[in-house]
Amino acid sequence: MDERKNILGDVINMAVKTNYSKNGRAYFRVSAVLGTDSSGKRIIKEFYGKSKSEAESKKREYLDGIKNGLSIDNKNLSLGNLMHIWLFEIIRVSDKIKPSTFERYEGIYRRYIKDSPLYLIKLDSIRTLDIQRYYNSLSSMGKSKNIILALNKLLKQFLFYAVDEGYLIKNPCVSKRIVIPGENTMSKEVDHLTDAELKILMGNLDGNKYKEVILLSLGTGLRRGEILALTWDDIDLDNNMINVNKSLSKVYIIEGDETRERKQIIQSPKSMHSIRTIPFPESLKHLFRDLQVKQKINKLRCGKSYKNSNYVFVSECGENVELYNLANNWNKLLKDLEIPHKKFHALRHTYATKLFEKGVPLKTVSELLGHSSIDITADIYTHVMPKEKTNAVEKLNSFFAENL
């Protein structure tokens, strides 16, 4: 019986013309000399196929890749291994990446790459289908489309780096064949204060330590971090203008896989479009005058322990306002006034909603808010748009009524 198997194997090998056997299976093996290493030893790579033509085809594809810039050092390099190097040794030290942005990138890597099926895949064998299958599995586990989109965006950015460095010939994330699974998240009405809630809020701010912060957010639409990062140099009291150029944030400063420290920092705003100069209502000018007086009183009261700075909003001892303290104060204020809970960001949404209700054009509102495009503004404030369309048609109706 064994003799028959050997004879049959020999016949098959002769027919297919294989020249190498491993684990009882026959292959055709070809090799290529890629150069020499630092010690002068030849670098040889072997290619295997079920036939000579298949092995030669793999060899040609690889050598063509080298001609097009493919690195020969990626034989045992996994996607996850290089992505970790890219993230911590290149992205983290870049002066173009904000700490909050790196915190977001690191979180995506830690949650969706580090222990994923993609981590151990060899870079030179990663395919679009591997990525698609992983996205499908995330979707089936209940991950939202937005999460998968964020992962794909970061993965695409990393794989462009891999292509530039010669580890890949092309970026498998760019393929139009990749489909981001999941349902499109429908735009929902943003949380904003009603007229009744606004009346209650504004009638009960006296004595609140963050009264000026709340009213400035409501009167300018500035983000919480943008307000708390303002310095007196940013305030033009003569022309009622505010120069927005930085933001206060609380982020994890990440030095390595195990070193994570949460700190409150001043950094550049959310985007380049967030750097802007905006007006504030004349009726709010007294807020800044009141703050200047308050700071002088606190400075005398605290004496040498007062921390001199140029920030507009500071604690009684001159230090930057703690985001955590502001959030707690806001939550308690709403609870005491029996207003349904809303994030502090609802003040910004209320500002924008009121502008739309007053007939301010979409483009103007978008610029005041610091959005990168009017599409973003329109998408966020869709709840206002139907009302504005109705108002526009009613104006046209008045025209016809007067002239027909």
Does residue 97 sit in helix, strand or coil? coil
* Number of other CB atoms surrounding residue 171 within 10 Å: 19
Residue-level pLDDT at 72: 52
The CA distance from 23 to 74, in Å, is 26
Using a cut of 0.75, tell me whether the model's pTM lies above it.
Answer: no
Residue 134 maps to a domain: yes
Do 237 and 369 fall into the same domain? yes
Domain identity same for 237 and 350: yes
- Residue pair 345/327 in contact (Cβ under 8 Å)? The answer is no
In whole angstroms, give the CA distance from residue 228 to residue 250.
Answer: 12
Which pLDDT does position 7 carry in this prediction? 45
Tally of structural domains, the chain: 3
What's the N-to-C CA distance of the chain in angstroms? 104
CATH of the domain at 160: 1.10.150
Residue 402 inside a domain? The answer is: no
Do 343 and 211 fall within a single domain?
Answer: yes
Q: Are residues 105 and 238 in the same domain?
A: no
Burial pattern 373-398, b for ≥16 Cβ within 10 A else e, equals: eeeebbebbeebeeeeeeeeeeeeee
Q: Are residues 380 and 239 in the same domain?
A: yes
Q: Which of 122, 141, 164 is the last residue of a domain?
A: 164
3-class SS of residue 6: helix
pLDDT at position 391 is 58
Residues 231, 330 share a domain: yes
Judge whether 271 and 366 are in contact, CB under 8 Å.
no
Q: How much is the pLDDT for 340?
A: 96
Do 98 and 51 share a domain, yes or no?
no
Query: Which among 36, 67, 98 is the end of a domain?
Result: 67
Q: Return the pLDDT at 259.
A: 72
Asked if 119 contacts 79 with a C-beta cutoff of 8 angstroms, the reply is: yes
Instruction: Find, among 152, 118, 102, 122, the residue nearest to 256 by Cα.
Output: 102
The encoded tokens of residue 305 equal 């322990």
**pLDDT of the residue at 66:** 53
Q: In what order do the strands lie in the sheet with 235-236?
A: 235-236, 241-244, 276-279
Using alpha carbons, select from 201, 207, 216 the residue that is nearest to residue 313.
Answer: 216
- CA-nearest of 279, 225, 273, 280 to 370 is 273
CB atoms within 10 A of CB 120: 10
Same domain, 204 and 333: yes
**CATH number, domain containing residue 388:** 1.10.443.10
Name the region of 40 (left: φ>0; alpha: ψ -120 to 50; beta: rest): left
**H or E stretch at 324:** helix 323-336
Burial (CB count <10 Å: 0-12, 13-18, 19+), residue 198 = middle
Q: Which domain holds residue 112?
A: 79-164
Angle at which helices 211-220 and 346-357 cross, to 10°: 40
Q: Do 122 and 199 have their domain in common?
A: no
Q: What is the CA radius of gyration of the chain?
A: 31
In a domain, 399, yes or no: no
Residue 214, in any domain of the structure: yes
Phi/psi for 231 (5° steps) reads -110, 165
- Whether 256 is in a domain gets the answer yes
Tens of pLDDT along the chain (404 residues) come to 455 545 444 444 445 577 777 667 788 888 877 655 556 676 677 777 888 888 888 777 766 665 554 555 555 688 998 999 899 989 988 888 888 999 999 999 999 999 999 999 988 888 999 999 999 999 999 999 999 999 999 999 999 998 888 888 889 998 778 999 987 655 566 889 999 999 999 999 999 999 999 999 999 999 999 999 999 999 999 999 999 999 999 888 887 666 778 889 999 887 888 999 999 999 999 999 999 999 999 999 999 899 989 999 999 999 999 999 999 999 999 999 999 999 999 999 999 999 998 889 999 999 999 998 998 898 888 777 655 555 555 555 555 556 55
Q: Is residue 298 part of a domain?
A: yes
108 and 141 housed in the same domain: yes
In a domain, 172, yes or no: no
Do 44 and 122 share a domain, yes or no?
Answer: no
Are 217 and 314 contained in the same domain? yes
Q: Is residue 186 part of a domain?
A: no
